[in-house]
């Protein structure tokens, strides 16, 4: 929210551009969490 307000862009446009990166990071984190939780 702060980034989209500071750059004077529409919040939904900011969400649309950042969503793919956020989903990739969340997927990698979830997979790593499951792997570490299973083997350690």
pLDDT digits (tens, 9 = 90+) for 1-40: 788 888 888 889 889 999 999 999 999 999 999 999 999 8
Residue 2: per-residue pLDDT: 85
Tell me how far CA of residue 20 lies from CA of 24, 30, 36, 37, in angstroms. 6, 15, 24, 26
**pTM exceeds 0.85, yes or no:** no
d(CA 1, CA 35): 32
Q: Which domain holds residue 7?
A: 2-39
Burial of 6 (0-12, 13-18, 19+ CB in 10 A): exposed
């Amino acid at each position: 929210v702060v980034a989209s307000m500071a750059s004077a862009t529409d919040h939904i446009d900011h969400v649309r551009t950042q969503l793919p990166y956020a989903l990739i990071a969340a997927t990698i984190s979830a997979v790593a969490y499951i792997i570490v939780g299973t083997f350690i």
